[in-house]
């Protein structure tokens, strides 16, 4: 019989005889096996069990995929949101216009929810001048037709013909590669009007090379001057560039510099954009605030160094509902308190009502076509 077994027997006899229970537990503790196996070998009695190091492989934190930056825009695209609203305000009239767009060919299928990227459309527009037109020219009726042909995302051809004026103008945009594209524009006339003969024919165009960080553009403007512009994305939210214009007829040249800084908001659709352009004789500062994907507020300040004058404007745009079927309102209020607004509302799925209005009670001259108020209507239909 081993030593351990004899000690256990004696302890059991003491337990039956009612001996001290504390002594019994101390004896059991001392009679334990004095060797133990572990991962590192044998241990003597009383020695501490070594800590076992578990080889835990630290899982590498997977980084979120970096968001791919869009192509760097051109220098002229600075203030694009403001320019879009301002161009809409410039084409306001006080008459009634009726336009009809006919989609002749389209590779999409609206029934299946497939949006086409290649199409050919024709837009017919009939304009009837309002009170201001009667005041200036006795009232006229004008007709124009516009053709748009698009082949994918890399090629677009637009032509606009006005028979009453005998003018034809168009634009051809073509993307040759992922980073290289070109734009060509023309305007010609067959009219005997001296004013049109002085301005037309007119040709302009540009070639652009761009990637996500740089944009280089070389071309000829509608005024006949040559220009070279560049814009660089220094940071994902900061861009800066310059533009050089040269008139080969007069030999005059001017240069402007500018930049853009974007601040993204915490919610989707929120963004602040700070933009500035500075030239030798003028400076423009712009601020755009996208409150949400529906609301946009913007302001623009222009300073003329030569005349030491300044002007400013406030722009707004709000979309009710979705981008395709929702109504929207946009407008401009300048420092002379001239208020302009445009309201567009779709109805019956294929029709769009466009109402325009202008109020100018402080700075107007009817002889120059500036009246206290002006209202116009336009109905656009799609077939």
Alpha-carbon gap, residue 292 to 275, rounded angstroms: 19
Q: What pTM did the predictor assign?
A: 0.70
pLDDT at 261: 93
pLDDT at 26: 58
Q: What whole-number distance in Å separates Cα of residue 331 and Cα of residue 346?
A: 18
What's the pLDDT at 155? 87
Task: Give the distance, in angstroms, between the CA of residue 299 and the centroid of all CA atoms in the same chain.
Answer: 17
Cβ pair 297, 287 in contact under 8 A? no
Say if residues 235 and 55 touch (Cβ distance below 8 Å). no
CA–CA dist 160, 18 (Å, integer): 117
Check whether the bond before 201 is cis (ω within 30° of 0).
Answer: yes
pLDDT at residue 28 in the model: 47
- Over the chain (383 residues), what is each successive 10-residue block's mean pLDDT? 51 50 52 46 50 50 58 88 86 82 78 73 84 63 86 87 86 90 90 79 90 91 88 91 87 88 83 90 91 89 88 91 81 88 87 88 71 83 81
User: For residue range 10-44, what is the model confidence (pLDDT) as tens digits?
Assistant: 555 554 554 454 555 555 455 544 444 444 444 45
d(CA 22, CA 30): 13
pLDDT of residue 29: 52
Q: What is the pLDDT of residue 171?
A: 92
Domain boundaries, the chain: 3-38
User: Closest by alpha carbon to 186, among 208, 164, 217, 161?
Assistant: 161
pLDDT at position 38, please? 47
Two tokens, residue 200: 């037309």
**What pLDDT does 13 receive?**
53
- Three-class DSSP category at 76: helix
């Amino acid at each position: 019989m081993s030593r351990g077994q004899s000690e256990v027997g004696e302890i059991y006899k003491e337990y039956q005889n009612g001996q001290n229970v504390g002594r019994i537990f101390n004896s059991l503790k001392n009679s334990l096996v004095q060797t133990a196996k572990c991962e590192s070998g044998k241990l003597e009695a009383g020695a501490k069990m070594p800590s076992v190091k578990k080889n835990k492989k630290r899982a590498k934190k997977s980084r979120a995929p970096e968001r791919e930056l869009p192509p760097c825009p051109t220098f002229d695209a600075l203030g694009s949101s403001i320019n879009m609203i301002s161009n809409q305000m410039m084409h306001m009239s006080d008459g009634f216009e009726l336009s009809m767009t006919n989609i002749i060919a389209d590779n999409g299928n609206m029934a299946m929810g497939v949006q086409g990227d290649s199409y050919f459309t024709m837009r017919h527009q009939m304009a009837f001048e309002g009170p201001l037109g009667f005041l200036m020219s006795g009232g006229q009726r004008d007709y124009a037709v516009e053709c748009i042909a698009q082949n994918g995302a890399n090629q677009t051809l637009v032509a606009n013909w006005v028979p009453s004026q005998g003018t034809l103008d168009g634009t051809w945009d073509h993307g040759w590669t992922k980073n290289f594209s070109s734009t060509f524009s023309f305007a010609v006339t067959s009219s005997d009007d001296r004013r049109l003969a002085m301005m037309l024919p007119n040709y302009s165009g540009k070639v652009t090379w761009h990637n996500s960080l740089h944009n280089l553009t070389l071309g000829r403007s509608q005024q006949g001057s040559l220009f070279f512009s560049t814009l660089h994305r220094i940071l994902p939210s900061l861009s800066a560039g310059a533009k050089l214009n040269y008139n080969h007829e007069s030999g005059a040249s001017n240069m402007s510099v500018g930049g853009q800084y974007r601040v993204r908001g915490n919610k989707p659709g929120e963004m602040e954009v700070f933009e500035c352009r500075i030239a030798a004789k003028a400076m423009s500062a712009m601020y755009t605030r996208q409150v949400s994907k529906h609301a946009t507020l913007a302001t623009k300040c222009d300073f003329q160094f030569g005349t030491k004058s300044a002007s400013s404007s406030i722009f707004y745009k709000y979309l009710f509902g979705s981008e395709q079927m929702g109504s929207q309102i946009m407008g401009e209020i300048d420092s002379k308190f001239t208020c302009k607004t445009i309201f567009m509302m779709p109805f019956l799925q294929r029709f769009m009502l466009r109402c325009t209005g202008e109020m100018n009670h402080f700075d107007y001259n009817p002889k120059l076509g500036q009246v206290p108020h002006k209202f116009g209507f336009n109905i656009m239909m799609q077939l």
